Structure 1
């Protein structure tokens, strides 16, 4: 028997000027979700049940970019996506293009458990949701006033997301390929000053007392994204992966995470190279992202927890069976 462990994230790429009250709000949400997950693990729930339960909590709270509070497409609608993977048997389910499903991660679970497929999207996923009787709501449920304001600013700046880079010495906006971007507080902006929190993807990884691992990830995607865009979160092996050795959930620039198959690479380094979990995470973040910005959380079958990110911060937290708990941003 191993000790259980759980880790959660609320996204990488945190504005260093994020108001303290927003930091504390995010910390409270993550801590609440950790306590929900820990209670489930103490009650003997399997890892896959716990990751679904925790991500449902994150989807229901508008603080992060999943479920209610999802980032908006350029049309002002939401197209949500999620995935879940049970490392015990490497079973998985994923969904994309959801517009009415209240908890995308639970539909992903149903795809895994009750369909012959691993991935359903757009109209087919919505039809399956109704066949399964999952809770659906009007698209307006997911759209917050804050996200409408962000979308307006993103459109004005012709930007697909709120993001930033730490420029190398002597690099200005034009030479970095970001014409019209602003350099403020030492950060190269892609056309928008981040004066408010831009929500990010959520995820959870768990190893239960049997040593079984599971992962789940959920997101609304990028603010002002093209309709039909699919990121890394629902892609097994990129944004989410779980096997007998570990479970991984990623966050950040989806296109970079897709190119690097980031989650699977971490697992492969553990499985084939014999690296420790933290060594595998560190290598993947440093060597596999090229110019991309991302972060990830991971747990191993031995009860280890590891984080990694190349952004200034990542909303994250973990709890273990021995009573340890932490929530961090920077």
Structure 2
């Protein structure tokens, strides 16, 4: 584990538990964008958001342009969140037809609220100047077709959930037709010692319409405070039960090394539950996942390190 000066600018990003390390290059570009923003005088929050925007635009991650299709094969629902150690807090849940949900979450932080959802979130995006955006790529179509085959077969699409449950509780406008479950996230520290986190996800597949995971829930998928920042990825229904991001943050605030806290957080879950964590503290950083997880870490000196 590498020790760092208290105010050494740093950015860590992940591309989702269960992703491929072949996608580390996108994380490296995202981290580089964040570091560039810090070098240009931006805050930790600016850096974290810029990093997540890069991953939303990449198309390979389950966020923004790469978000999974819902079970009806046409709807895309996305969540995103931002938080920093100075008090900024904003999130969106089940938002549709926007290109960069994390930018809308950042805009929500300037309103009297911290979380907007569904149609209200999309209407807010329009009034805030974000244009309508809805594109479905061949990659998204291919992943949806594979999911439909899994749901129609004997393989289990979601750990601990029978495939028939999604047909029994179907709430889309179309009749049932018969798994990616990841997130992107970034944590950043600026030269003033401020911390920030930004997260974005295209949701979980399979899921019912209106499903919200851990990504926009403070303390579950994300948390930032005076002692550091934490971003989490994995199966939200399990993550929220442990308030994982805040739990890990509290460990580092109490003096636990960041890598130890990340490892301990992952160890809370059984092997069949996807989970990954990135942690940035005052003097160190850590990452852990029980699955492959695209990852990059960069400091103000532009050093790059490979995470777990």
**TM exceeding 0.5:** yes
Among 187, 194, 204, which residue is 1:205 paired with?
A: 187
Q: Distance in 2 between matches of 1:54 and 1:112?
A: 18
Look up the match of 2:297: 318
Look up the match of 1:48: 45
4+ long deviations beyond 6 Å: 161-165, 176-179
Report deviation, 1:79. 0.3
- Give the RMSD, CA atoms, in angstroms: 2.5
Number of corresponding residues: 286
**How has the CA–CA distance of structure 1 residues 177 and 129 changed in structure 2, closer, same or farther, with 3 Å as cutoff?**
closer
Report deviation, 1:276. 1.9
Bigger CA drift: 250-259 or 211-220?
Answer: 250-259
**How has the CA–CA distance of structure 1 residues 203 and 162 changed in structure 2, closer, same or farther, with 3 Å as cutoff?**
farther
Conserved 8 A contact 2:181-2:205? no
Report deviation, 1:44. 2.2
Secondary structure of the residue that 2:220 maps to in structure 1?
coil
Conserved 8 A contact 1:71-1:78? yes
Q: Distance in 2 between matches of 1:43 and 1:225?
A: 41
Mapping 1:1-330, distance limit 5 Å? 2-14=7-19, 23-24=21-22, 26-76=23-73, 77-89=75-87, 91-113=88-110, 115-137=111-133, 139=134, 141=135, 143-158=136-151, 200-271=182-253, 273-287=254-268, 292-302=273-283, 304-311=284-291, 313-327=292-306
Q: Distance in 1 between matches of 2:243 and 2:18?
A: 19
Unaligned segments of structure 1, at least 5 residues: 166-175, 180-193
Secondary structure of the residue that 2:66 maps to in structure 1?
coil
Conserved 8 A contact 1:6-1:305? no
Q: Distance in 2 between matches of 1:262 and 1:46?
A: 25
Unaligned segments of structure 2, at least 5 residues: 1-5, 164-178
Q: Distance in 1 between matches of 2:17 and 2:156?
A: 12
Q: Distance in 2 between matches of 1:78 and 1:223?
A: 11
Conserved 8 A contact 1:13-1:163? no
Q: Distance in 2 between matches of 1:289 and 1:106?
A: 34
Report deviation, 1:162. 8.9
Conserved 8 A contact 2:197-2:230? yes
